[in-house]
Amino acid sequence: MTKRYLFANWKMNLTEDESVDLAKKFSEASKSLKNTTVGVAPATLNVSATKKAVGSNLLVGTQNVYYEEKGAFTGEISIPMLKAAGIDFTITGHSERRNIFGESNELVAKRTQKALDEGLTTIFCIGEKLDARESGKTNDILAGQIDALTSLLQKKNYDNLIIAYEPVWAIGTGKVATTKEIEETHAFIAKHWKDQTGYDCPPILYGGSVKPDNYAEIIKVPLVSGALVGGAALKADQFTKLMEISEE
Active site residue 28: no
* Count of residues interacting with ligand PEP (CB under 6 A): 13
* Cα separation, 180 vs 24, whole angstroms: 36
Which one among 39, 127, 202, 208 touches ligand PEP, defined by CB under 6 A?
208
* Cα separation, 145 vs 163, whole angstroms: 11
Which one among 61, 93, 203, 230 touches ligand PEP, defined by CB under 6 A?
230
Measured at the CA of 210, the angle between CA 206 and CA 213, to 5 degrees, comes to 130
Compute and round to an integer the Cα radius of gyration of the chain: 17
Hey, which residues does 206 pair with through a beta bridge?
A: 165, 227
* Cα separation, 90 vs 81, whole angstroms: 12
Which one among 42, 93, 207, 226 touches ligand PEP, defined by CB under 6 A?
207
Q: Is 229 in the site for ligand PEP (CB under 6 A)?
A: yes
To ligand PEP, the closest distance from the beta carbon of 206 in angstroms equals 9
Tell me the C-alpha to C-alpha distance, in Å, between residue 135 and each of 25, 100, 104.
43, 22, 21
Q: Which stretch binds ligand PEP (CB under 6 A): 138-146, 152-160, 197-205, 223-231?
A: 223-231
* Residues 144-203, interacting with ligand PEP (CB under 6 A): 166, 171-172
Active site residue 94: yes
Q: From the candidates 96, 128, 166, 186, give the one annotated as an active-site residue.
A: 166
Cβ burial 213-235 (10 Å sphere, 16+ → b, else e): ebbeebbebebbbbbbbbbbbbe
To ligand PEP, the closest distance from the beta carbon of 39 in angstroms equals 13
**Half-sphere exposure (CA, 13 Å, Cβ side) for 63?**
21
To ligand PEP, the closest distance from the beta carbon of 236 in angstroms equals 15
List Cβ neighbours of 53 (8 Å cut-off, separation of 6 or more).
20, 23, 24
Which residue, 55 or 172, has its beta carbon nearer to ligand PEP?
172
Which one among 4, 5, 8, 9 touches ligand PEP, defined by CB under 6 A?
9
Which residue, 118 or 241, has its beta carbon nearer to ligand PEP?
241
**Half-sphere exposure (CA, 13 Å, Cβ side) for 220?**
9
Which one among 22, 58, 109, 210 touches ligand PEP, defined by CB under 6 A?
210
Q: Which stretch binds ligand PEP (CB under 6 A): 145-153, 193-201, 222-230, 238-246?
A: 222-230
Q: Which residues form the interface with ligand PEP (CB under 6 A)?
A: 9, 166, 171-172, 207-210, 228-232
Residues marked active site are found at 94, 166
